[in-house]
């Protein structure tokens, strides 16, 4: 594991957002879900896709608060442009479980 400085860590802008829309992404190479996430007035709504179908379906994601890196450049994922990277951790089977706050917090809040 390589070390980074605290200043390097501060360059990564991790914010909380609320999923406002989600739909299946069957065109992806691996099963995925497309999400539109509201990050508040400063950042607005951004979209992403994630391979999270083992634990989530689109209907249950709407309204969920998630953590995401919002300052990576957009990345083309198949025919879909991903604008943020949602954060998660693998379970025992390697399937991703999303990271979010324990309770409701204002959207757009930056992780400290």
Q: Is residue 3 part of a domain?
A: no
Query: How far is CA 106 from each of CA 31, 61, 95, rounded to the nearest angstrom?
Result: 30, 17, 28
Residue span of the structural domain in which 67 resides: 13-98
Q: Write the burial class of residue 91 (CB in 10 Å: 0-12 exposed, 13-18 middle, 19+ buried).
A: exposed
Q: Is residue 4 part of a domain?
A: no
Q: What is the CATH number of the domain that holds 36?
A: 2.40.50.140
Q: Is residue 104 part of a domain?
A: no
Q: What is the pLDDT of residue 110?
A: 96
- Looking at the predicted structure, is the pLDDT value of residue 112 above 90? no
Q: Is residue 32 part of a domain?
A: yes
**46 phi, psi to nearest 5 deg:** -130, 155
Q: What is the pLDDT of residue 1?
A: 84
- Looking at the predicted structure, is the pLDDT value of residue 77 above 90? no
What mean pLDDT is predicted for residues 88-99?
98
**40 phi, psi to nearest 5 deg:** 85, -175
Q: Is residue 78 part of a domain?
A: yes
Q: What is the pLDDT of residue 37?
A: 98
How many domains are contained in the chain? 1
What mean pLDDT is predicted for residues 31-60?
97
Q: Is residue 80 part of a domain?
A: yes
Q: Is residue 43 part of a domain?
A: yes
Q: What is the pLDDT of residue 4?
A: 93
Residue 29: which pLDDT band, with cuts at 50, 70 and 90? Answer: confident
Q: What is the pLDDT of residue 78?
A: 85
Residue 28: which pLDDT band, with cuts at 50, 70 and 90? Answer: confident
What mean pLDDT is predicted for residues 76-85?
93
Q: Is residue 1 part of a domain?
A: no
CB 98 within 8 A of CB 87: yes
């Amino acid at each position: 594991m390589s070390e980074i400085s605290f200043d390097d860590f501060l360059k990564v802008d991790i914010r909380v957002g609320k999923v406002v829309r989600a739909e299946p992404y069957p065109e992806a190479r691996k099963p995925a879900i497309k999400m539109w996430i509201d990050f508040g007035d400063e950042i607005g709504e951004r979209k992403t896709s994630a391979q999270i179908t083992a634990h989530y379906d689109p209907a249950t994601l709407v309204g969920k608060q998630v953590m995401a890196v919002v300052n990576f450049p957009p990345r083309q994922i198949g025919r879909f442009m991903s604008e943020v990277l949602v954060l998660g951790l693998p379970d025992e089977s390697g399937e991703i479980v999303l990271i979010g706050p324990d309770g409701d917090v204002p959207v757009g809040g930056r992780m400290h």
